[in-house]
A = this chain, B = another copy of it.
Amino acid sequence: MSDVWLNTLMTETPQEGYDLAVKMSRVAVKMTQPDAEIRERLRKEYATSFDALIAASGVVATHFQTIASANNHWK
């Protein structure tokens, strides 16, 4: 993760903010499990587990809250 991937929390629209929230929720996973092949295998498993999908959705919700606040809720 030495690349620059998060320069700003500002986005043009709420939807772009949502996409950023999804990205931010995934980077933490990547930092703990850097092996792309293992991640891919895990992703397949959790894509059929509703508990995991909902938990992931919850992480997105927290990041979106931060991003929405940074963008003054795009008002």
Contact = CB atoms under 8 A, between A and B. Distances in A.
Interface in A35-75: 38, 42-43, 45-66, 68-70, 73-75
Nearest to A71: B73
Interface in A1-43: 4-10, 13-15, 18, 22, 24-29, 31-33, 38, 42-43
Main secondary structure of the interface of A (DSSP, over half): helix
Contacts of A64: 24, 63, 66
A8 to B, nearest CB: 6
Interface of A: 4-10, 13-15, 18, 22, 24-29, 31-33, 38, 42-43, 45-66, 68-70, 73-75
